[in-house]
Amino acid sequence: MDISHAICYAKDTGADWYDYLRGFFALKPSMFHLSDGDSNSGTDTHSHINDGNYDWGRIIPLLPEDAVITIETKKDSAAGLEDFRKDAKSLKALFLQQNRLGL
């Protein structure tokens, strides 16, 4: 399930993004594509984690404990993985804030 696509679709159709996401979660998806973006826009920007305004405090608790997560953010440069490391670190911090990592 692509979280950004769902949020963008909700915006385009006038639906509440959180209610729309919860409807998808009722289908019990197990794989999720995560990126940040503008919840007030219908455009998926694949923004880096914490560079948008997505409400991670409401999104993360919806994810199942055994979720498979793909970070689907834009690549800033063809060389190196520093942008990916930053996104992974940001996501880890968000999950820790929600007590969702068993570390």
Express each pLDDT in 28-86 by its tens digit.
999 999 999 999 999 999 999 999 999 999 999 999 989 999 999 999 888 888 999 99
Select from 14, 66, 65, 7 the least CA-distant residue to 34: 7
Query: Would strands 31-34 and 68-71 be described as parallel, antiparallel, or unpaired?
Result: parallel
Residue 17 is encoded by which pair of tokens?
Answer: 């993004």
Which residues are CB-neighbours of 86 under 8 A, at least 6 positions away? 48, 49
25 SS3 class: helix
Domain ranges of the chain: 3-97
89 SS3 class: helix
pTM score:
0.89
Answer yes or no: is pLDDT of 100 > 80. no
Q: State how far the Cα of 40 lies from the Cα of 53, in Å rounded to an integer.
A: 9
33 SS3 class: strand
